[in-house]
Amino acid sequence: MINRVVVTGVGLVTPVGIGKEEFWQSLINGRSGIGKISYFDTSGYPAKIAAEVKDFDYGNYISTKEANRMDKSTQFSVVATMLAMEDSKLKFTEEDPYSIGVIIGSGIGGIGTFEKQHKVLLEKGSNRVSPFFIPMMISNISAGEIAIKIGAKGPNGVITTACASATHAIGIAFKLLQKGDTQVIISGGTEAAITPMALAGFCKMRALSIQNNNPAYASRPFDKERDGFVMGEGSGILILETLQHAKKRNANIYAEILGFGMTADAYHVTAPSPEGDSASQAMKIALEDAKIKPSQIDYINAHGTSTPLNDKLETLSIKKVFDKHAYNLKISSNKSMTGHLLGASGGVEAIATALTIKEEVIPPTINYHYPDPECDLDYVPNKAEQKLVKYALSNSFGFGGHNGVVILGKYMED
């Protein structure tokens, strides 16, 4: 038997809000979380803006002693997990610990810790490097810390496929639950890479927007004047359950996960394939996995990074899959408000997609003012739209040519 898989809880730590309500109200009201970088001096950097998480307080969930031994990316994921657990009303103490898994995505891991400890090494010597440096830095530690926090002894791991990390994590969790390897999986993504070194690297790649004088308008996916993405940070965590398990405890269901597809461009370390064939193939695989037709999709939560190449080629890949129906689709990019959360983006955007289905409201793509003839679909410009969404698709594409697609649908009884 193949199990049905549903979303029963969501937790968010994002630049546009912490917790489901604040996050969702920001999205549907088009509020940007982008501003001048406050974490360090950006003199000499071409890009001086980012989407930072504001008013983050781990105190309700993590002790100061614990927090001091966690990179910020791990702190984000643990808090987002605890928020998701509260939202799901799942009592983990009443569950078999081996039936609960944790599969998280993170593209970069503890780069902030790495930079700080490298400075300690250079300035104070090797004896002053923290004994917690390695476990704080390694990418897999978010899943490990979450499991330790709640006692989850089922499948556990972290997927690292750049900006597709969280979507791949959700897809793999979905497949494990379908097979019946476990009953509950905590999945999504986390990232905290707004650091001097990371910003310098992205600046040298010329990947970032340099609209420093107007930060809220800098991320403009699909707009003709887009000039690069804006770095973001945060975590989006979903509680995924087999339908049987969710129904047994009368859980609230946001949406059902129906399909997953992943491919590789096999083209370039950073640039997407110029024909968009592998991205479109990932969408086709997800549709086949979900056993639905392209014409049944109502909405696409786009990768939509606000870079010239990505937005053009994502549009092209959508057209290759959906043909004339592409022009009937509603498409929007949360990154216009949240910035690009890198490896965490797929988790946050999967949650946004589930909420879109549940609430029947499509968040807008803000800052869309100048149409691009190469991006000529309906990107829900600037204002949210009420719409019944039965089936939705969420895209994530990462450096290295990693493509991930998940399909979610409105939950319907057997």
Which candidate in 203, 303, 375, 402 is catalytic?
A: 303
Active site residue 168: no
| Phi (first) and psi of residue 332, to 5 degrees | -150, 160
Q: Which residues of 326-340 are buried (b: 16+ CB within 10 A; e: fewer)?
A: beebbbbbbbbbbbb
Q: Is 271 exposed, middle or buried (0-12, 13-18, 19+ CB in 10 A)?
A: middle
Which candidate in 163, 203, 245, 375 is catalytic?
A: 163
Which candidate in 168, 245, 340, 402 is catalytic?
A: 340
Q: Which amino acid is at 61?
A: Y
Active site residue 303: yes
DSSP string for residues in 185-229: EEEEEEE---SHHHHHHHHHTT-B---TT-GGGT--TTBTT---B
Number of C-alpha atoms within 13 angstroms, CB side, residue 84? 34
- Please state, as a whole number, how many other Cβ atoms lie within 10 Å of the Cβ of residue 268: 12
> Tokens in use for 123?
């300035």
Active site residue 163: yes
Strand, helix or coil at 236? strand
Asked whether the beta carbons of 315 and 360 are under 8 A apart, the reply is no
How many whole angstroms separate alpha carbon 22 and alpha carbon 205? 33
How many whole angstroms separate alpha carbon 142 and alpha carbon 148? 10
- Helix (H), strand (E) at residue 326: none
The alpha carbon torsion through 262, 222, 228, 263 (nearest 10 deg) reads 10
Asked whether the beta carbons of 254 and 364 are under 8 A apart, the reply is no
Asked whether the beta carbons of 55 and 18 are under 8 A apart, the reply is yes
Rounded to the nearest angstrom, the gap between the alpha carbon of residue 1 and the centroid of all alpha carbons in its chain is 30
| Phi (first) and psi of residue 70, to 5 degrees | -125, 140
DSSP string for residues in 16-32: TEESHHHHHHHHHTT--
How many whole angstroms separate alpha carbon 17 and alpha carbon 355? 15
Measured at the alpha carbon of residue 274, what is the angle toward residues 351 and 229, in degrees to the nearest 5?
45
Cite the active site residues.
163, 303, 340
